[in-house]
Amino acid sequence: MAQASQRIGNEEVLWTEIIGNLFGLGSAIGGMRRKVWAWPIGIVGNALLFVVFFGFGATNGGDHVMYGQAGRQVFFIITSVYGWWAWLRTRNSAGQDTPAVQPRWATGAERLGYVGFWIVGVLVCQWLSRLIGVGWSPPGWYFWADAWIFVGSIVATYAMARGWTDFWLAWIAVDLVGVPELIYFKHYPSAVLYAVYACFVIWGFFVWLRITRQSSESTAPTPTKAVAT
């Protein structure tokens, strides 16, 4: 399946990859602003990037199907549908001018749950990937990297849907592995935009952190003064 591309230097870059990542950036901006439209915008970008990473005329000629990168787009769409529903429900119950979610830190139990899921998920996914095979001969680290990106992306998207401030930190952990992997496999538009994401994610984290602190301060009990007898 041929797709339109643009030559940048010595590489052919798909317009699908460029546009898909721009939709992803738009979704991240909407997420930071706690806007419901962040979710459908992100779903469009996920669908476009699924086509890219599954190898239909990708920049590497389609011979390297990146199953982890492609598979996480599917889970992005599934979790984004949940996030869209959850944020829409919150906004409709609180009013159209109200942010769709109130950021908060995950509780200790919630954090233990998603960290445990991440660790077990990486172990299982890299093992299954090696067992099933990917149709080509990648370097050994690829299976661990792709599993980390795949499971971490699920964790981050779900945490965003729940309104946990932790989700920004999860994205940073994903980008630290994802950007080098994308550069290695010459998906340069995705690598550049993921690097931009990393800077944006740090900014978004501090925005949500400030809101979280303000919310905690506003709900904290007011100390009462002692009454002299």
Per-residue pLDDT reduced to its tens digit, 154-189: 899 899 889 999 999 999 999 999 889 888 887 776
Decide which of 154 and 113 is more confident.
Answer: 113
The mean of the pLDDT values for the chain is 81
Model pLDDT, residue 58: 42
DSSP-derived secondary structure letter, 98: S
The answer to whether the beta carbons of residues 86 and 161 sit under 8 Å apart is yes
**Is the pTM for the entire model greater than 0.85?**
no
Specify the pLDDT at position 216. 73
Question: How far is residue 4's CA from residue 189's CA, in Å, rounded to a whole number?
Answer: 14
* Own/partner pairs, 1-4, CB within 8 angstroms, 24+ separation: 1/56, 1/57, 2/57, 3/51, 3/56, 3/57
Q: What is the mean pLDDT of residues 195-218?
A: 85
Cβ pair 166, 152 in contact under 8 A: no
How far, in Å, are 25, 29, 46, 65, 135 from residue 55 at the CA level? 22, 28, 14, 5, 12
- Residue 129, pLDDT score: 84
Supply the pLDDT for residue 133: 73
Share of the chain above pLDDT 90, in %: 28
**Count of alpha carbons within 13 Å of 112, Cβ hemisphere only?**
3
Proportion of the chain above pLDDT 70, given as a percent: 78
Find out whether 19 and 41 touch, Cβ atoms under 8 Å. Answer: no
Residue 193, pLDDT score:
75
pLDDT confidence of residue 59:
44
Pairwise pLDDT comparison (141 vs 65), residue with the higher score: 141
Higher pLDDT, 15 or 77: 77
Least confident piece of the model among 62-66, 117-121, 193-197: 62-66
Structural tokens at position 137? 């001969």
The first and second tokens of residue 225, run together, are 């003064």
pLDDT at 6 over 70: no
Per-residue pLDDT tens for 71-90?
778 888 988 899 899 888 88
**pLDDT value at position 55?**
65
